[in-house]
A and B are shown apart, each in its own frame.
Chain A
Amino acid sequence: MSKKKKVRFGEPVNWRKELSLLPGYIIVTVWIIFTAAFLFWILAASFSTSREIFSGNVFKFESGFHLENYVSAWQAQNVSVFFANSLLYAVVACVGVILISAPGAYVLSRFEFFGNKVIKSGLIVAMSIPAVMIIMPIFALTTQWNLKGRILLIMLYIFLNVPYTTTYLLNFFATLSRTYEEAAAIDGCPPAKTFWIIMLPLVQPALVTVTIFNFLGVWNEFFMALIFASSAEMTPVGVGLLQIVNSMKYTGNYGGLFAAVIIVFLPTFLLYIFLSEKIISGVTGGGIKG
Chain B
Amino acid sequence: MKKNKMLIICFILPCLITLLIMYLYPVGRTVLMSFFSIESVTAGMSDWSFNGFGNYAKIFNSPAFKTSMWNMLRIWLVGGVFTLSLALLFAVILTSGIRFKKFFRAAIYLPNVISAVALATMWIQYVFNNDYGMLNKMLKMVGLEGVKWLGTDMKFWAMLFAFIFGAVGYYMLIFISGIERIPADLYEAATIDGANKVQQFLKITMPLLKGITKTNVTFWSVHTTTFFLWSKMFSPVDTEATTIVPVVYLYDTVFGGKGVTTRDAGAGAAVGVVLALIIIVIYFIMNKLLKDDDLEF
Residues of A within 8 A of B (CB): 1, 4, 8, 17-18, 20-21, 24-25, 27-28, 31-32, 34-39, 41-42, 45, 53-57, 99-101, 103-104, 106-108, 111, 113, 119, 122-141, 143-144, 156, 158-160, 162-163, 166, 171, 175, 190-192, 195, 209, 216, 220, 222-223, 237-238, 241-242, 245, 254, 257-258, 261, 264-265, 268-269, 272-273, 276-277, 280, 283-284, 288-289
One of A28, A222, A258 near B108 (C-beta < 8 A): A28
One of B30, B98, B131, B279 near A25 (C-beta < 8 A): B98
**B52 CB to nearest chain A CB (Å):** 19
Q: In chain A, what residue has the closest Cβ to B126? A: A41
Tell whether, in the assembled complex, residue A272 and residue B106 are in contact, meaning their CB atoms are under 8 Å apart: yes
Report the Cα distance A257→B5, complex, angstroms.
55
B-side interface mostly: helix
Q: Can you name 18 A-B residue pairings with CB atoms under 8 Å?
A: A41-B126, A56-B131, A101-B15, A103-B11, A104-B14, A107-B11, A124-B218, A128-B218, A132-B226, A136-B26, A136-B269, A136-B272, A140-B43, A141-B25, A220-B114, A220-B115, A261-B121, A284-B180
Tell whether, in the assembled complex, residue B8 and residue A111 are in contact, meaning their CB atoms are under 8 Å apart: yes
Report if B94 contacts A (CB, 8 A).
yes
Tell whether, in the assembled complex, residue A159 and residue B22 are in contact, meaning their CB atoms are under 8 Å apart: yes
**A186 CB to nearest chain B CB (Å):** 15
**A28, A113, A124 pick with most chain B CB within 10 angstroms:** A28
**B191-237 interface with A by 8 A CB criterion:** 197, 211, 218, 221-222, 225-226, 228-229
A-side interface mostly: helix
Say whether, besides A134-B22, A283-B180, A24 and B118 are in contact (CB < 8 Å). Answer: no
Report the Cα distance A224→B116, complex, angstroms.
15
Q: In chain A, what residue has the closest Cβ to B93? A: A24
One of A54, A104, A131 near B15 (C-beta < 8 A): A104
Q: In chain A, what residue has the closest Cβ to B223? A: A130
Tell whether, in the assembled complex, residue B27 and residue A133 are in contact, meaning their CB atoms are under 8 Å apart: yes
Report if B61 contacts A (CB, 8 A).
no
Report the Cα distance A139→B269, complex, angstroms.
13
Interface string of B124-136 (1 = CB under 8 A from A): 0111010111100
**B247-296 interface with A by 8 A CB criterion:** 247, 250, 254, 265, 268-269, 271-273, 275-276, 279-280, 283, 296
Tell whether, in the assembled complex, residue A166 and residue B15 are in contact, meaning their CB atoms are under 8 Å apart: yes
One of A119, A128, A139, A269 near B41 (C-beta < 8 A): A139
Q: In chain A, what residue has the closest Cβ to B197? A: A20
Say whether, besides A107-B12, A119-B15, A276-B106, A265 and B113 are in contact (CB < 8 Å). Answer: yes
Interface size of B by CB at 8 A reads 94
Could you say which residues of chain A place their CB within 8 Å of the CB of B275? Answer: 130, 132-133
Tell whether, in the assembled complex, residue A106 and residue B11 are in contact, meaning their CB atoms are under 8 Å apart: yes
Could you say which residues of chain B place their CB within 8 Å of the CB of A156? Answer: 22
Report if B10 contacts A (CB, 8 A).
yes
Report the Cα distance A273→B109, complex, angstroms.
10
Report if B112 contacts A (CB, 8 A).
yes
Tell whether, in the assembled complex, residue A107 and residue B41 are in contact, meaning their CB atoms are under 8 Å apart: no
**B99-124 interface with A by 8 A CB criterion:** 99, 102, 104-119, 121-122
